[in-house]
Amino acid sequence: MDSTLAITQANLRVNGHSFDSIDVASQGQYPCSFRDQLFSIPDVEAFDEALDRRIWSLADTRLQWHKRMAKTRREVPSEIQTHMSSLLTKSQEQDQVLNQLDEDDTMEVEEPLALEGRSFSRESS
């Protein structure tokens, strides 16, 4: 088995490091065989379950925020358009009412004014 692995040794990578860069002898261990060298590498960290859950939780939260922003971008402009249309309609109705009141006021002013027996008209002489 060691001879088979020795042939592939040039292409072998362990935990992202090339096999040639692993120096087990300098770490205070004596290389017995390839298998012993492979499983005695101290650079391997244990899998952190809490960190993994936290990362997935943050990814899910990010996805929810993206969905919420997309929904808001779709719905809010049409809501604003609806509100603006209703405000414009109300404003036009109020303008018509005010114009009608102005026309009614001008009709009343055209009559002559009477004060203490004298009559005055708007036209000055």
Give tens-digit pLDDT for 20-72.
Answer: 666 555 555 544 555 555 555 556 567 788 899 999 999 999 999 999 999 99
Residue 11 confidence (pLDDT) above 80: no
- Count of alpha carbons within 13 angstroms of residue 46, beta-carbon side: 3
Q: Residue 125: its pLDDT value, please?
A: 44
Token reading at 43: 């650079």
What does the pLDDT average to over 5-19?
65
Report the C-alpha gap between 115 and 18 in whole angstroms.
113
**Domain extents in the chain:** 2-39, 46-89
Map tokens 């072998």 to a residue. Answer: 12
What does the pLDDT average to over 78-93?
95
Token reading at 98: 């005010």
Report the C-alpha gap between 22 and 25 in whole angstroms.
9
